[in-house]
Amino acid sequence: MRIDQKQLRELGRLWVKYTREEAKKDALKSTFIPRSKDFYDSFSYAVEAGDVVVLYSTWPWVDLITEGTKTKFKMAWLTKQRGVDIVPLRQRDGTIAFRRAPLTVGKAWIHPKIAKHNFINRAYERVLKACVEGILEDVMENAGRR
């Protein structure tokens, strides 16, 4: 069975749509995933090499969101040495606490780890399921014509 360009474009549109939906679900559970329209609109697709659908994002740190970090790391950008004086931190109860940033990079706060988010993989699984359902519908429709 051969997939034509129209079907590949539909697959790409579905992948982008489902990625946005799955990212919104993850954003409700994590403060690390942006909740902005700009983030959701950063996803797009292209059909390359004739029959390969590739998902893209223009978001600057999408790799950090989707791959996470394996270990703790210093937050060197949150220091007075780098020009940051006060840091607003959202508390679990929704209030905002303000903390003074450490003086130097050597004394920077340690981030425990950034979790890997798999919303793109879940979106891909949904696309595969939709494709299989579409193929089965076509098969059943064609079987009824015989």
The tens digit of pLDDT for each residue in 32-77 reads 899 999 999 999 999 998 889 999 999 998 998 999 888 888 888 8
Helix (H, G, I), strand (E, B) or coil at 37: helix
- DSSP H or E run through 66: helix 62-67
* d(C-alpha 134, C-alpha 96), whole Å: 49
Entry pTM:
0.73
Task: Return the ∠ at Cα 133 (arms to 131 and 137), rounded to 5°.
Answer: 115
* d(C-alpha 144, C-alpha 142), whole Å: 5
The tens digit of pLDDT for each residue in 65-110 reads 999 888 888 888 889 999 999 999 888 898 999 999 999 989 998 9
CA atoms within 13 A on the CB side of 129: 7
Q: Is the dihedral of CA 52, 5, 14, 125 positive or negative?
A: negative
* d(C-alpha 124, C-alpha 145), whole Å: 32
